[in-house]
Amino acid sequence: MEPFESDRIIRLLPKTRSRLLRLIFSRLAVILVLITSQILLIASIYGLFAEFIPRFKIIQTLFTLSMIFFLINKDMDSSAKLTWLWLIAMFPVPGSLLLWFTDNNFGHRRIRREITDLILETKHALPQDPEVISDPELAASGTDDLCKYLNRTGCFPVYRNTDATYFGDGAEMFDAMLAELEKAESFIFMEFFIIAEGYMWGKVLSVLSEKVRQGVDVRVLYDGMCEISSLSFDYPKRMEQFGVRCKDFSPVQPFLSTHYNYRDHRKIVVIDGKTAFTGGINLADEYINREERFGHWKDAGIMLKGEAIPSFTLMFLQMWNINEPAAAWEPFISAPTAPQHTEGWVIPYADCPLDNDKVAENVYINLLYRARKYVHIMTPYLILDGELETALKYAAQRGVDVQIILPGIPDKRSAYALAKTHYRTLIAAGVRLYEYTPGFVHAKTVVSDGEKAVVGSINFDYRSLYHHFECAAYLYKTPCIADIEQDFQQTREECRTVTPETIQNESLFYKLLGGFLKVFSPLM
């Protein structure tokens, strides 16, 4: 089908009347059938072994014990260990096989090796300016320690001369993004977790197609799960009709694999190496409230201009250039920036789930431990491991004003129920919790003491902190931090306060669901 354009809104896919019919005749249906067949085949082989191999029960018992010993000695979050131990205790053979399967990374060893090699290869592509990181003001606040950590674990320098504009509304950021895209002269890089056809993506695609005609290098990268939820498996080829280079990251294949667990959750736009956007906002109509799904959609993002932009360029190219020569990166990384003579420091950073560095969680924990007055958080999900929950409680117990805004209308009942399992413990420690009554909070922001903040794609849950590729911008003493705090206060006015009484009166459904799912939360 030829793409069509209406009022500069482009669609590449026909509108389907029946989601059920689309599912039945989709590639996903074929994949599910093939994966189910593989599971049944494995179960059949296991049954044959159990029937015809003498002393098979002894073999499986020894295998289960060996996996338990392996698990006890493995470097793993303690909550995840407990979950695995419970799973193996309840289902010895399936649980042990699943642990062995996931630990051996079947199905994504190649991509794991390629991504980690690329990150190592480019670890020093952006050298740290020694004059910036040695500023006495960073040392006086202890921020220099975080700067050194981020610079050593990845190629994440700290920058000055970077202007930051905060958006507490998806539609506002969308308007700014369109305006900046229309100014592009050299290249546009876009990386998103979700792209769905509609008004928002149609407007963007219209601008991108025009920019291609003007000779701009346009590249779009989206997570492969979009092929299941919103786009067709041949969507990259459809994009090529406009000259837009397009890739899907880790598309779902009809084979049992652990690579489906690692998703590209990042949101990045880079324009000419001079402007970058990041935050929680994807390219779908609900993010700008053109479509209502869970009441009002509250989101947040940030626009950066200046010296920090090459870091976002590098993040994008690290994901884009799998199986491509690194030499092609240099012109984009070294593209001239537009320095802004503004106050403060900015550190763009990313987190990769394929290494042992919990960068995203460590930044959040650093903010909590360094806080003196307050830490104010907005997050759609609250599924905490022991370290992060301890950091939240410790901050509150030493007198820091810790407040968290969560959705009043959830997008996932399971996540909503799991968040509530933390409420009683956090409130007892002095953390103040709020639920956004108009709808769904999708913003991922942390602001502390009026001088530190994080805006990005990183949720307070296991998926973001352990299983997703993520990104964010750490801000120190930039003027927009006041805007982030103001947005938090304005959002809180539309929230209901969570109290011990509201917890007590919570529906039995959510209590039972949360209690059951908490056992599996590290694996979700």
Note the pLDDT tens digit of each residue in 49-91. 666 777 777 877 887 888 888 888 887 777 788 888 888 888 8
Residue with token string 């810790």: 402
Q: How far apart are CA 168 and CA 159, in angstroms?
A: 24
Low-confidence stretches of the chain (pLDDT < 70) are 1-7, 16-35, 38-39, 41-43, 46-47, 49-51, 104-110, 253-260, 323-327, 524
pTM for this entry: 0.90
Backbone angles phi, psi at 351, to 5 degrees: -130, 135
pLDDT of residue 295: 97
Q: What is the pLDDT of residues 269-312, one digit of tens each?
A: 999 999 999 999 999 999 999 999 999 999 999 999 999 999 99
Partners of residue 349 on adjacent β-strands: 472
- Domain 110-150+158-345 classification at class level: alpha beta
Q: How far apart are CA 47 and CA 82, in angstroms?
A: 28
pLDDT of residue 323: 66
Neighbours of 258 (CB within 10 A): 17
Residue with token string 């090459």: 310
Q: What is the pLDDT of residues 388-410, one digit of tens each?
A: 999 999 999 999 999 999 999 99
Q: Helix or strand or coil: residue 177?
A: helix
Residue 98: exposure state from Cβ atoms within 10 A (0-12, 13-18, ≥19): middle
- Please state which CATH number belongs to domain 359-523: 3.30.870.10
Crossing angle of helices 78-90 and 56-73, rounded to 10°: 170
Asked if 279 and 456 touch (Cβ cutoff 8 Å), the reply is yes
Query: Which residues in the chain are classed under CATH 3.30.870.10?
Result: 110-150+158-345, 359-523
Crossing angle of helices 92-103 and 56-73, rounded to 10°: 50
Cβ neighbours for 467, distance < 8 A, ≥ 6 positions apart: 261, 262, 263, 353
β-strand 432-436 against 439-441: which pairing, if any? unpaired
pLDDT of residue 128: 93
Residue with token string 């876009």: 190
Residue 426: exposure state from Cβ atoms within 10 A (0-12, 13-18, ≥19): buried
